């Protein structure tokens, strides 16, 4: 059931990330033009090289026409002029090669750096978005935006821009040369243009549909894989492999079918084009051949016919390439629209224009939750009129039923979300007035599953902040009692951790995250189920670390295990978004409510373990 809900949610989220509107080409070019301006010189160089490369390429058939008509057909034994023609032909070939190479390189350079800038801006923007955004959008879609969508923009430069300039100019040059050679035959050839355009347009809309379908299905597939990877332990524990395999198979097949349809359409289009090209050549040979033979009183030199046949073949290539760019342009437009729609998202939680800059060392650590009410976007109210005041340096334990709102309460203190009603103050400052940068220096958070990055132990403790010295890190680890564990590792503090610290035990990861707290020294410390995943021996280690870390700091500890919070100055019991019991461990036991029941339960479990 839970799985079905998860999948339904994944589908809902995936749908949210799909573009509903048609691609907007003008806004796409406007979006990119700002980036292109920065590389205007490189683009100018690209256009100049393109012009030279095309001229060098298209003059080659013209030279052959001269050789045929002025030398070979008239039987002129002028070897020196033939030699000159051959030499020029060779020089043109080399120039066409060199300038095409340069043109490609210049375009690549500009295109790649634009894409790198967009990717960087996108990543920076995503990291600034509020948690409500990440609740809505699955990480798989975001990975697609940062990887495939930026790649689609890359292809826009490599293929679309290249083709529009190179092939567009080639077409114009070919027409000029053909008119110059024989206007009448050119006009005959132009009859073919509406037919070519008609076929291109007919395929275009079908190709667009097949392309978008394939992209949508790929995006769903990626989102599904990302969610499965993130929840692999749950899948294995609940033996969901078969169900997931079935669901993956359905998505995979659906993507496969969309891909096949897309490829089939492309192949059909290309082959139809080749047939049309050959028909056009036959048409030119028929019309031009009669003229060469002097039928109907018209005359045409053989060299001109030869050049025409070459130009007609060359004429079809660029049209084909340009129309082939249609789906690349489509994908780039969809990608740009998607990326720019992410850029347009404003974080729900933002700094005020004149946000307070608060030095964390000046903070005593008083926290006031003044009658706060909170609901997640599009969710029901999870915290109702909660009033709580925490003294500087006090340790407050929070327990309660599942879904009572404990984690939501601390998310509000970290300002991952803003309260709907009421206010949260730290030392009298409303947290909405404090700059988020300063707030996150004041409030430190340790979660059940601490996040470790791929990097060394040292990097993970100081969070890649080089201004924190190695000695400070070592001192913090010694203080926490993590030093012996770290020194036993292969390279001590320089041991490289794999992604998310997967090579370490839960307790080791937790100790490293405590060392982080010591290094960054927040004034308020929040622990959200920080000891939940630990065995009792590691829990004792972490508990000892917690006692050291919390000295002199206001500390809020959410725990299911009462042993973690029994010694707290005050314990709160939450239910349905409210505080229903409050007092010290002994006071709450005497009260005989939920806490006392929880305690009896935990004692029962403890006794059972001892007896077993
Ligand atoms: N990101 C979210 N979006 C929407 N609703 C949420 C979100 N996070 C939590 N909730 C809902 O808010 C309510 C309170 O959740 P919260 O995680 O604060 O409870 P909790 O007391 O910490 O529970 P637990 O002890 O199980 O962790 C729950 O009904 C939960 O479904």
Tell me what the mean pLDDT of segment 415-420 comes to: 93
pLDDT computed for residue 413 by the predictor: 95
- φ, ψ dihedrals at 106, nearest 5°: -65, -45
607 pLDDT above the threshold of 80: no
Band of the pLDDT at 390, cuts 50, 70, 90?
very high
Q: Which of 283, 317, 343 is the last residue of a domain?
A: 343
Please provide the average confidence, as pLDDT, over all residues in the chain. 84
Tell me what the mean pLDDT of segment 244-260 comes to: 93
362 falls within a domain? no
Confirm if 534 and 542 have CB atoms less than 8 A apart. yes
**Residues 337 and 410 reside in one and the same domain:** no
The total number of residues written for the chain in this structure:
612
Atom in ligand 1 nearest the alpha carbon of residue 411: 18
**Residues 156 and 304 reside in one and the same domain:** yes
CA of 566 to the centre of ligand 1 (A): 24
17 falls within a domain? no
- Could you give the percent of the chain with pLDDT greater than 90? 32
380 falls within a domain? no
The set of residues, in sequence order, having a beta carbon less than 8 Å from that of 327 and lying 6+ positions away, is 207, 208, 211, 262, 266
pLDDT computed for residue 611 by the predictor: 53
- Give 295-306 pLDDT, tens digit per residue: 777 678 888 888
Quote the tokens at residue 120. 């960087």
Least confident of 50-59, 107-116, 161-170, 331-340: 331-340
**Residues 406 and 335 reside in one and the same domain:** no
CA of 404 to the centre of ligand 1 (A): 7
Quote the tokens at residue 506. 């839960």
Residue 598 vs residue 49, higher pLDDT: 49
**Residues 325 and 197 reside in one and the same domain:** yes
**Residues 334 and 405 reside in one and the same domain:** no
CA of 407 to the centre of ligand 1 (A): 7
What distance, in Å, lies between the first and last C-alpha atoms of the chain? 34
**Residues 119 and 214 reside in one and the same domain:** yes
Give the residue, by CA position, lying nearest to ligand 1 atom 7: 376
Our mutation pick for probing the ligand 1 site, out of 408, 573, 578, counting the most ligand atoms within 8 A of Cβ, is 408
Beta bridge partners of 573: 399, 581
What is the reported pTM? 0.70
359 falls within a domain? no
The set of residues, in sequence order, having a beta carbon less than 8 Å from that of 596 and lying 6+ positions away, is 588, 589, 590
How many domains, in total, are found in the chain? 2
pLDDT computed for residue 11 by the predictor: 37
8 pLDDT above the threshold of 60: no
Confirm if 166 and 52 have CB atoms less than 8 A apart. no
Give the residue, by CA position, lying nearest to ligand 1 atom 6: 376
Give the residue, by CA position, lying nearest to ligand 1 atom 31: 403
2 falls within a domain? no
Beta bridge partners of 579: 574
pLDDT computed for residue 421 by the predictor: 94
**Cα pseudo-dihedral 453, 457, 463, 465, rounded to 10:** -140
397 pLDDT above the threshold of 90: yes
**Residues 295 and 399 reside in one and the same domain:** no
535 pLDDT above the threshold of 90: no
**Residues 105 and 168 reside in one and the same domain:** yes
Give the residue, by CA position, lying nearest to ligand 1 atom 1: 135
Question: Residue 179 is part of which domain span?
Answer: 24-343
The set of residues, in sequence order, having a beta carbon less than 8 Å from that of 497 and lying 6+ positions away, is 452, 453, 454, 455, 456, 457, 460, 503, 504
**Residues 529 and 590 reside in one and the same domain:** yes
Question: What is the C-alpha separation between 227 and 41, in angstroms, rounded?
Answer: 44
Quote the tokens at residue 43. 């683009």
Tell me what the mean pLDDT of segment 181-188 comes to: 87
The set of residues, in sequence order, having a beta carbon less than 8 Å from that of 315 and lying 6+ positions away, is 171, 174, 178, 189
5 pLDDT above the threshold of 90: no
Tell me what the mean pLDDT of segment 401-418 comes to: 92
Band of the pLDDT at 23, cuts 50, 70, 90?
low
Tell me what the mean pLDDT of segment 503-523 comes to: 84
457 falls within a domain? yes
Give the residue, by CA position, lying nearest to ligand 1 atom 13: 403
Give the residue, by CA position, lying nearest to ligand 1 atom 30: 403
**Three-state DSSP class for residue 522:** coil
Domain of 524, CATH number, reads 3.40.50.300
463 pLDDT above the threshold of 80: yes
Least Cα distance to 517 among 483, 545, 487, 486 occurs for 545
323 pLDDT above the threshold of 80: no
- Give 546-605 pLDDT, tens digit per residue: 787 788 899 999 987 788 888 899 999 999 999 999 999 999 999 988 899 888 887 766
- φ, ψ dihedrals at 313, nearest 5°: -65, -45
**Residues 410 and 485 reside in one and the same domain:** yes
What one-character DSSP code corresponds to residue 612? -
CA of 408 to the centre of ligand 1 (A): 6
CA of 546 to the centre of ligand 1 (A): 25
Quote the tokens at residue 505. 């035990």
Band of the pLDDT at 312, cuts 50, 70, 90?
confident
**Residues 310 and 405 reside in one and the same domain:** no
Is residue 407 within 6 Å of ligand 1 at its C-beta? yes
Is residue 135 within 6 Å of ligand 1 at its C-beta? yes
- Give 61-81 pLDDT, tens digit per residue: 988 888 888 877 776 677 788
Tell me what the mean pLDDT of segment 54-61 comes to: 92
Is residue 376 within 6 Å of ligand 1 at its C-beta? yes
Half-sphere exposure of 108 (CA within 13 A, CB side): 6
Is residue 405 within 6 Å of ligand 1 at its C-beta? yes
Our mutation pick for probing the ligand 1 site, out of 401, 407, 445, counting the most ligand atoms within 8 A of Cβ, is 407
**Residues 303 and 399 reside in one and the same domain:** no
114 falls within a domain? yes
**Three-state DSSP class for residue 528:** strand
pLDDT computed for residue 151 by the predictor: 86
330 pLDDT above the threshold of 90: no
pLDDT computed for residue 45 by the predictor: 95
Is residue 382 within 6 Å of ligand 1 at its C-beta? yes
**Three-state DSSP class for residue 532:** coil
Domain of 122, CATH number, reads 1.20.1560.10
3 falls within a domain? no
Least confident of 94-98, 184-188, 258-262, 387-391: 184-188
pLDDT computed for residue 2 by the predictor: 35
pLDDT computed for residue 604 by the predictor: 65
């Amino acid at each position: 059931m839970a799985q079905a809900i998860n999948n339904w949610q994944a589908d809902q989220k995936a749908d949210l990330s799909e573009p509903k509107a048609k691609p907007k080409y003008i806004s796409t070019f406007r979006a990119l033009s700002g980036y292109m301006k920065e590389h205007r010189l490189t683009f100018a160089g690209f256009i100049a090289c393109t012009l030279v490369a095309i001229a060098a390429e298209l003059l080659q058939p013209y030279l052959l026409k001269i050789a045929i008509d002025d030398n070979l057909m008239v039987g002129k034994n002028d070897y020196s002029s033939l030699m000159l023609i051959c030499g020029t032909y060779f020089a043109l070939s080399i120039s066409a090669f060199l300038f095409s190479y340069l043109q490609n390189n210049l375009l690549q350079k500009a295109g790649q750096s634009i894409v790198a800038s967009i990717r960087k801006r996108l990543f920076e923007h995503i990291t600034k978005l509020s948690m409500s955004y990440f609740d809505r959008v699955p990480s798989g879609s975001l990975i697609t935006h940062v990887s495939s969508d930026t790649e689609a923009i890359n292809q826009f430069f490599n293929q679309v821009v290249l083709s529009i300039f190179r092939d567009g100019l080639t077409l114009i040059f070919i027409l000029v040369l053909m008119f110059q050679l024989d206007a009448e035959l050119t006009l005959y050839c132009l009859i073919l243009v509406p037919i070519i355009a008609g076929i291109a347009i007919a395929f275009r809309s079908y190709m667009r549909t097949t392309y978008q379908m394939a992209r949508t299905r790929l995006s769903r597939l990626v989102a599904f894989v990302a969610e499965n990877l993130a929840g692999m332990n749950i899948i294995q524990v609940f033996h969901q492999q078969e169900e997931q395999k079935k669901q993956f198979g359905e998505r995979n097949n659906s993507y496969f079918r969309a891909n096949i349809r897309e490829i089939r359409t492309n192949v059909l289009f290309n082959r139809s084009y080749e047939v049309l090209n050959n028909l056009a050549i036959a048409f030119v040979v028929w019309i031009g051949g009669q003229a060469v033979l002097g039928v109907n009183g018209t005359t045409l030199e053989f060299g001109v016919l030869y050049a025409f046949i070459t130009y007609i073949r060359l004429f079809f290539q660029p049209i084909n390439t340009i129309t082939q760019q249609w789906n690349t342009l489509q994908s780039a437009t969809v990608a740009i629209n998607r990326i720019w729609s992410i850029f347009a998202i404003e974080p729900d939680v933002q700094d005020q224009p004149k946000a307070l800059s608060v030095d964390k060392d000046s903070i005593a650590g008083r926290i006031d939750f003044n009658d706060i009410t909170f609901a997640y976007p599009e969710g029901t109210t999870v915290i109702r009129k909660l009033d709580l005041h925490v003294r500087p340096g006090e340790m407050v334990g929070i327990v309660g039923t599942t879904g009572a709102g404990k984690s939501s309460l601390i998310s509000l203190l970290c300002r991952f979300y803003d309260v709907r009603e009421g206010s949260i103050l730290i030392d009298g400052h409303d947290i909405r007035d404090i700059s988020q940068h300063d707030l996150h220096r004041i409030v430190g958070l340790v979660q059940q599953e601490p996040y470790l990055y791929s990097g060394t132990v040292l990097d993970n403790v100081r969070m890649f902040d080089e201004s924190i010295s190695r000695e400070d890190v070592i001192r913090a680890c010694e203080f926490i009692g993590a030093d012996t564990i770290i020194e036993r590792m292969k390279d001590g503090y320089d041991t490289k951790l794999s992604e998310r610290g997967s090579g370490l035990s839960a307790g080791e990861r937790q100790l490293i995250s405590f060392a982080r707290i010591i290094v960054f020294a927040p004034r308020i410390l929040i622990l959200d189920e920080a000891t939940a995943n630990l065995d009792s021996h590691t829990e004792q280690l972490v508990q000892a670390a917690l006692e050291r870390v919390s000295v002199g700091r206001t500390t809020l500890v959410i725990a299911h295990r009462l042993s973690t919070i029994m010694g707290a100055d005050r314990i709160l019991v939450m239910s349905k978004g409210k505080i229903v019991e409050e007092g010290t461990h002994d006071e709450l036991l005497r009260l005989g409510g939920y806490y006392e029941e929880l305690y009896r339960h935990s004692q029962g479990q403890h006794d059972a373990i001892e007896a077993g």
